[in-house]
Each structure stands twice: as C-alpha cells, then as structure tokens.
Amino acid sequence: MKIDHQVDIKPFTTFGISEPVQDFVSLEHVNELIAFLNTESLNEKKHLILGGGSNLLFVKPFDGLVISPKIMGIEMTTESENKVVVCAGAGEVWDDFVKYCVDNKFWGIENLSLIPGTVGAAPVQNIGAYGVEAQDAIFSVEAVNRFDGTIKTFEKADCQFGYRDSIFKQTEAWIVTRVFFELSKIAHPQLSYEPLKQRFTNLIDVQIEEIRQAVIQIRQSKLPDPKEVGNAGSFFKNPVIDLHDFNRLQAEYPNMPLHLVDIDKAKIPAAWLIDQAGWKGYRKGEAGVHPNQALVLINYGAAKGHEILELSKSIEQSVLDKFGIVLEREVIVVS
C-alpha cells in the first residue's frame, strides 16, 4: 500500500471541484485495509472514507487522510428455490452491480438503476429511488472498525436504517467492506412510483430489464450526467412533516404534492419546494440549479465548493421563509 500526498480530489468526486487532500490511500483487499488500520492510528487523525465521491462537496483543502476502499468482487453465496443472496465488494460500481442482478433476473434493486456511487455507499446512505430503498434488499453488511481493525457483520436490524440514514452514517467507527443482498428469483415489480406506473399500465409479464431501462430513461431525462456537468445528484433530502402542517400548507398551496409515510407524516418533494421558491434554472457564475431538476445543484465547470455551499444555504433560507420547512442536505460537506 502506498500513501500519496497532496492529491487533487477532483477526479474522485462527481462535483468536479478541485481541492488538495493531504494524504490519500487506496486499499483493494479487506486484509490490506485491516493491516493499514493496525499501523495507522486514526484516533487523533482527521480522516474521510471515500467511495464513489458522488455525495461529497469539498469546500476547502482537506488536511487529513482520505481512505478509498476498492474491494471488488460479486458472488452468489446462497440460493434457494425462490431467493438468492449475492455479496458485492464495497468498491464495485453500484450500477454495474444492479446490471449484474438484472442480467441474472434477481429482483429487488432494479429501481435503483443508474444511481452513482459504489456498493459500499449504498447502506451508508440507504440510497433510494422510485419507491425502493437499499434496505429493502440488504441482508447484512460486513464492516471493519476503523479504530481497532476488527471486522463485524451487521445483520439488517443492526444497521438502523432510516430515510437516507444508517448506523454507518451515524458513527465514524465503521468502514463498509462487503454488502450482502437478498433478492428474489420470482418476478416482483415495484411500480408504485408515478412515472413508472404511467409507463407500465399493463402489469402482466413486466420484465426486469424493461424496468431497468425505464428507470434509466427517466433519470437521464431529469438528471445531468456527472461526466458532463459536475453534480452530486439530489442535494437535499425530501422533508418529512406532520400531516397537520401539510394540510395547513396545502390550503395555501393546493398543488403541493405529498407522499404519506405514516398515519400522521407526509414527505414533500424538495424539488417542488425549491422550484416554487423560484430557484429552478438559477445560475450565478459557475454554480447553479439544474433547469430540469431543482433538487440538483451543478458546477458548470469552474465553481468553487464554497460557492455551491453558499447557493445551497440561500435555497434553504428561501424555502424556510416561504413554507416554514427546513431543508436538510443529503450531500456531505467536507471542510
């Protein structure tokens, strides 16, 4: 293993923003990661775990250590008549893994096609889209304790999954190394999300490949390709508010959409709030809001991290002033 110094983080993140990091190490095997942690004390060292870099915004030089786990491999570990458990290394590209599952007709994560990032980030963020979350398919998660090098398998219940949340996000203690997914060999399409429901009016003989292609087409029509325009996908979480508050707001804004998440809770699309506040398509210098999807903040080429951050703060304040709703960032700001 080799530690590189003063590395530009730009090629390793989807926002495409240049900032130097003091130290950078890439580790390709679990044993290599454990050996590294046993020789490098992280208790007093500023450090960061980097997956696909699709959820990070660097706003200044990082005077610490960036660890990039590149643990690869996909294998089927158990199989029954109706189900299969597939293990994927944390370094695998998430969409490559989804394609592998779709090609093998393993149902469960096809709605999560084209989400950027790595397999290792999936349980950390509990990624989700089009009516499905990673937790719906995750069987267990293997992780290494970054402070003492011990390895542990977290059963699903131990992961403390929530909306874009998990135990791996709540604490700095664990580095995800492998993720086990329990998937169905029997067709089980999840088409409750409106854009998919509109495309598949006939639910008979819906093919898993068709769902994947539909999701890809929808995402490509709404979201910019990070290879062409720097972005981190959804910058904000969709806020969840009391149903009483939603009813009060809907009296003033009759077209306000919602998704019921509980008997007394409603999830409001953050994109709708931002759009109604007048930010969709906004641009200042090299930083802006995507013209087709208000939830996406973009780097037109030469934006600084702090410019993206200041834009996000302005949007947060605007939405708070107009609706009384607090937006929470999904993107992690590295400072």
Catalytic residues, by residue number, are: 164, 234, 330
Q: Map the chain to HEC letters.
A: CCCEEEEECHHHCCCCCCCEEEEEEEECCHHHHHHHHHHCCCCCCCEEECCCCCCEEECCCEEEEEEEECCCCEEEEEECCCEEEEEEECCCEHHHHHHHHHHCCCECCHHHCCCCCECCHHHHHCCEECCEEHHHCEEEEEEEECCCCCEEEEEHHHHCCECCECHHHHCCCEEEEEEEEEEECCCCCCCCCHHHHHHCCCCCCCCHHHHHHHHHHHHHHHCCCCCCCEEEEECECCCEEEHHHHHHHHHHCCCCCCEEEECCEEECCHHHHHHHCCCCCCEECCEEECCCCCCEEEECCCCCHHHHHHHHHHHHHHHHHHHCCCCCECCEEEC
